[in-house]
Structure 1
Amino acid sequence: MPSSNPIGLTSGQVQSFIDDGFVRIDNAFSTDLARQCRDELWAEIGLSPSEPETWVRPVIRVASKSSRPFVDVANTPQLVKAYDQLVGEGRWRAPMGLGTFPIRFPSPDAPGDDGWHVDMSFGDSPDFMEWRANVKSSGRALLMLFLFSDVGPNDAPTRIRKGSHAVIARELLPHGERGATLRQLSADGYASTEGCEEELATGAAGTVFLCHPFVVHAAQPHRGKEPRFMAQPPLLPRGEFDPALPPSPVQIAIRRACGLTFPEVGTPG
């Protein structure tokens, strides 16, 4: 469900996040900031918007950017309010930049990175397939999609499986604190979420999708005409979820999916 309300999300939009696993915020940052960020990214990859003959690769990745425009984009009043509403006041770290940036170009070639997946939250293995996520979502408060260019259905929008966060929560529950590896979660190609309705992360430059950390999502080939500029950073938590505090919508979605009860505020659980 989209939002463009500068004072934050409505109760209906928060409920949509709990039920569907994401909420879309239109005009989360200005078109001028989007242009400044695109200009920096063009310079970073050494290509030009006026030379399409040089766009020979389907995707180029930029790891991170921490210059002022990117910090400003990630901390607009609309987004700060939404972070508070979905994660809880004082429970998240203000982004000091953004990343990663999968910049996708029109191409007949397969991008090679368009499989369904859940972003992992913690780990130190050089084998990324051994990185983990647990049912508490340790290390990640949100998955976020920042659109720096206009993204239509043909412009390689991220595919999102609505409600898949609930399926993944139930699958993570038996793994406890240690969690499951990406290899374990992806062993069957996320077949358990195949029945979920698919949503495309489309919108004008300045649109942001705030997603539950467990949402199953995927890239796709670019069939449009103009490159797609997007960042897909996490919102980092300040610490582990505190059971003494009221559960946030991120936690509520997990607990409902797992059939867990909600402890009273101030009691352990």
Structure 2
Amino acid sequence: MSNSQEIGLTPHQVETFINDGFVRVEDAFSRTLAQDCRNELWADMRLSPDRPETWTEPVVRVGWKSTPSFVAAANTPRLHAAYDALVGDGRWLAPQGLGTFPIRFPSRKSAEDDGWHIDVSFGTENPDFMEWRANVISSGRSLLMLFLLSDVGPEDAPTLLRKGSHATIARELLPYGKAGATLRQLSADGFASTEKCEIALATGAAGTVYLCHPFLVHAAQPHRGTAPRFMAQPPLVPSMEFDPTLAPSPVQIAIRQACGLTT
């Protein structure tokens, strides 16, 4: 177990996660690792940081990466302590890499992928991703994580986060029980139920990680800056099914509070 008193989250950060649906962890992994990861991704894309004339698309997507640099970035002592603090010691699986990577480039073209959504977590064997599902106990996903592999400022296409939207989604999922709801059902109204939430930007230096509640509503946006934005958006996968005999984790406390249950 990580020494959370030294490198983990503070009680205030945990409370922020419960209330807002995310917490920002600075210096979660080193800038050197971030650079190593970017170098591999440039090679995978067959593009160069020195040839901006070849950056012709607004976004290039790379899948899962399990080379040593990506495994190391996902498994620092600081992050392991944070996973323990939010999900519970022994209740998550150590990431075996990072992915996927929506690498965004400065562009006037629309990527047409900027709708509000949550990342659903099971039923992914269905070829229609709109039929993928989420349920109120968040089967298959403990956290949504945003790994900033480059410096991300307000103009660099930071992910948009609707603060507190995870509570609304928890209440909407409750009537569906363990079977859950499909992304098509959840997004029928464009997540209008969360449109009044305050919006936060997932900005930060390379090496920053946003640990987000699985139900947090978020969206992409166009890149208006000058340097490409490198980010990974993997799940943290649970090591076990929901066990009501265990003390609720902050992820579960947020759900229980939203649904009016005792914690």
Output the TM-score relative to the length of structure 2.
0.97
Output the amino acid matched with 1:23.
Answer: V
The alignment partner of 1:143 has SS state of strand
Residue in structure 2 matched with residue 46 of structure 1 by the alignment: 46
Residues 82-121 of structure 1 aligned to structure 2 (within 5 Å): 82-121=82-121
Q: Does structure 2 retain, via aligned residues, the 8 Å contact 1:139–1:237?
A: yes
Residues 57-206 of structure 1 aligned to structure 2 (within 5 Å): 57-123=57-123, 124-206=125-207
Residue in structure 2 matched with residue 267 of structure 1 by the alignment: none
Q: Does structure 2 retain, via aligned residues, the 8 Å contact 1:141–1:236?
A: yes
> How big is the shift at 1:261?
2.2
Question: Partners in 2 of 1:114 and 1:239 — Cα distance?
Answer: 32
> How big is the shift at 1:87?
0.1
Question: Partners in 1 of 2:111 and 2:129 — Cα distance?
Answer: 19
> How big is the shift at 1:6?
5.8
The alignment partner of 1:210 has SS state of strand
> How big is the shift at 1:139?
0.2
Output the TM-score relative to the length of structure 1.
0.95
Residue in structure 2 matched with residue 250 of structure 1 by the alignment: 251
Q: Does structure 2 retain, via aligned residues, the 8 Å contact 1:116–1:218?
A: yes
Output the amino acid matched with 1:171.
Answer: E
The C-alpha deviation readout for 1:136-186, integer Å capped at 9, x for no partner, is: 000000000000000000000000000000000000000001000000000
> How big is the shift at 1:7?
1.1
Q: Does structure 2 retain, via aligned residues, the 8 Å contact 1:64–1:98?
A: yes
Tell me which stretches of 4 or more aligned residues in structure 1 moved more than 2 Å: none
The alignment partner of 1:213 has SS state of coil
Residue in structure 2 matched with residue 266 of structure 1 by the alignment: none
Question: Partners in 1 of 2:174 and 2:225 — Cα distance?
Answer: 40
Gaps of 5+ in 1: 263-269
The C-alpha deviation readout for 1:180-219, integer Å capped at 9, x for no partner, is: 0000000000000001000000000000000000000000
> How big is the shift at 1:240?
1.3
Gaps of 5+ in 2: none
Question: Partners in 1 of 2:64 and 2:57 — Cα distance?
Answer: 19
Percent of paired sites with the same residue: 72
Output the amino acid matched with 1:162.
Answer: K
The C-alpha deviation readout for 1:66-120, integer Å capped at 9, x for no partner, is: 0000000000000000000000000000000010000000000111101000000
> How big is the shift at 1:131?
0.3
Question: Partners in 2 of 1:137 and 1:35 — Cα distance?
Answer: 33
The C-alpha deviation readout for 1:13-36, integer Å capped at 9, x for no partner, is: 000000000000111000000000
Question: Partners in 2 of 1:150 and 1:19 — Cα distance?
Answer: 26
Question: Partners in 2 of 1:114 and 1:138 — Cα distance?
Answer: 25
Residue in structure 2 matched with residue 232 of structure 1 by the alignment: 233
Question: Partners in 1 of 2:30 and 2:14 — Cα distance?
Answer: 23
Output the amino acid matched with 1:226.
Answer: A
Question: Partners in 1 of 2:127 and 2:180 — Cα distance?
Answer: 18
Q: Does structure 2 retain, via aligned residues, the 8 Å contact 1:6–1:77?
A: no
CA RMSD across the alignment: 0.8
The alignment partner of 1:150 has SS state of coil
Does 2:52 align with 1:56?
no
